[in-house]
Amino acid sequence: MATLRIAEWSVALSYSDLPSSVVDAAVRSFYNWLGCALGGSNHPTTTTAVKALSPFFGKETSSLLGGQSTGSGAGKADASHSALINGIASHVHDYDDTHLETIIHPTGPVASALLAQAEALTAQGMTVLGDDFLLALVVGIEAECKLGLAVWPKHYDVGWHITSTTGAIGAAVAASKLLSLSAEQTAHAIGIASTQVTGLREMFGSDTKSFHVGRSAQNGLLAAILASQRFTSSTSALEAKRGWVNVVGQGINRLDEFVGSLGKVWEIEKNAFKPFPCGIVVHPVIDGCIQLHKEMEEKELDMQGIKSVKCRVHPLVLELTGKKTPQDGLQAKFSVYHGGAVGLVLGKAGPAQYADEVVRSNEIVSIRDRIDATAGEKLGADETEIVVEFQDGKELKKHVKHAIGSLEVPMTDEQLQEKFLDQVSLVLGDGAKKASDIAWSLKGVGDVATLVKTL
């Protein structure tokens, strides 16, 4: 009974059970998520969603990160819509964390639901401690990643967006923990969430991709709230013959194996953080091209003297990010050609380099058109080989064995902070540093809602 086993494990787990390395991973995951959510709060995808949905907002208990303007001007919404909007914001730049074994972006659905519910509880006169928030974050991420492993890779290969299909369940487990639900209620919440399967890969490159994350946060929160009022579902929702795994798993079912590893192997410790706001499979090419940009500057080589750029990449790169002529920033996130071009020309690939005007600029398009990518069957997922050929016959070569942001070359806390400030300063200006300090302080904080108010 995998559904009940997940529920019972979640209910029984206490903060003192968490290894210090798991707590540290949770703090870093929240820090990275908050930076992404603030950084994406003024993206047109996010503001369009607020404009469309604000007439339907209920009691304004929970923050819209970045202080977005609503009909009332309060920058708040009901918990359900807050989870949705902040989830969209956190994923819209494709800058959020990645569980590399499943390419799930785990914190977006879970943290978006948790923060909205924590503020709603405060509005009811309750206090949510930072440690309790972190504990709920951990159980949610563990649940969604174990489910992802149970159906990987066919679930993703057939076309499901695994972040949102598992994220709603992770958010439900996390919110249930924050609400102190019983194991039986948590199992019902898992069932309510699992029946709300959200997310098709066909939507990648459009507004709807980030909607998946917001909707899964909203669906998971809704599931926990319903379960808290004794709303029922099947308590075998995951493992039953017509349950989640057997319906969406495409014949793969390793549920018992991975549920059995709960609390023994911590998936949150495998969480990686993106140095670039795009599909993670593009990162080796960007990493290599940025290094080549520096070499070209040192050797005073003319960018326009480039004849061709040949990249050998893992086959998944071409499947996921093969858009040769992206027309806007959302499409460019799935273009290895744009990623390589901005790396070579600009020497960086942050949110500003994925702005629509950059994607369509003559300088970037000119270099992008000279890039050719081919599959190398023996290359690792975070590996690439790049050869830059110049008109005069010169060549520059770069082999990236493991891209920055991989588990082998992880981002340091200093690099995470640089990433946070880079994107959040575009929204909060000089307030970005204060927001960074607040985000690092979640562990041990006495009231999560008070922490959010200072943002």
Name the pairing type of β-strands 306-313 and 384-390: antiparallel
CATH T-level fold of 280-400: 60s Ribosomal Protein L30; Chain: A; (3.30.1330)
149 pLDDT above the threshold of 60: yes
Average the pLDDT over 20-39 and give the result. 98
Residue-level pLDDT at 72:
53
Reported confidence tier of residue 239, pLDDT bands at 50, 70, 90: very high
For residue 425, give Cα distances in angstroms to 42, 353, 435, 452.
12, 15, 10, 17
385 pLDDT above the threshold of 80: yes
Amino acid, single-letter form, for residue 24: D
Question: Is cis: bond before 153, omega within 30 of 0?
Answer: yes
Helix (H, G, I), strand (E, B) or coil at 399: strand
CATH of domain 2-273+411-453: 1.10.4100.10
Reported confidence tier of residue 430, pLDDT bands at 50, 70, 90: very high
Helix (H, G, I), strand (E, B) or coil at 79: helix
For 149, the token pair is: 């492993």
For residue 171, give Cα distances in angstroms to 79, 145, 216.
13, 12, 7
Residue pair 173/139 in contact by the 8 Å Cβ criterion:
yes
Q: How many CB atoms lie within 10 A of CB 43?
A: 21
pTM of the full structure = 0.92
| CA–CA distance, 86 with 68 (Å, rounded to integer) | 10
pLDDT in tens, 280-324: 899 999 999 999 999 999 999 999 999 999 999 999 999 989 999
| CA–CA distance, 451 with 439 (Å, rounded to integer) | 8
pLDDT in tens, 184-200: 999 999 999 999 999 99
| CA–CA distance, 120 with 78 (Å, rounded to integer) | 8
pLDDT in tens, 11-26: 999 999 999 999 999 9
Residue-level pLDDT at 243:
97
| CA–CA distance, 273 with 259 (Å, rounded to integer) | 25
266 pLDDT above the threshold of 90: yes
Residue-level pLDDT at 279:
87
Residue-level pLDDT at 228:
98
Residue-level pLDDT at 373:
97
For 306, the token pair is: 């480039």
455 pLDDT above the threshold of 80: no
pLDDT in tens, 402-428: 999 999 999 999 999 999 999 999 999
* Nearest Cα to Cα of residue 97 among 23, 149, 37, 10: 37
Share of the chain above pLDDT 70, in %: 98
Reported confidence tier of residue 454, pLDDT bands at 50, 70, 90: confident
Sequence spans of domains, the chain: 2-273+411-453, 280-400
| Beta carbons within 8 Å of 147's beta carbon, 6+ residues apart | 166, 169, 170, 238, 244, 245, 255, 258
Q: How many CB atoms lie within 10 A of CB 170?
A: 33
Longest dimension (CA), the chain: 74
pLDDT mean across residues, the chain: 95
DSSP 97: -
| CA–CA distance, 455 with 453 (Å, rounded to integer) | 5
Reported confidence tier of residue 71, pLDDT bands at 50, 70, 90: low
98 pLDDT above the threshold of 70: yes
Residue-level pLDDT at 69:
59
* Nearest Cα to Cα of residue 255 among 174, 194, 172: 194
Residue-level pLDDT at 253:
85
Residue-level pLDDT at 67:
73
pLDDT in tens, 171-186: 999 999 999 999 999 9
pLDDT in tens, 56-67: 999 999 999 987
CA angle in degrees (0–180, nearest 5) for 334-339-340: 135
Average the pLDDT over 362-390 and give the result. 96
386 pLDDT above the threshold of 90: yes
73 pLDDT above the threshold of 60: no
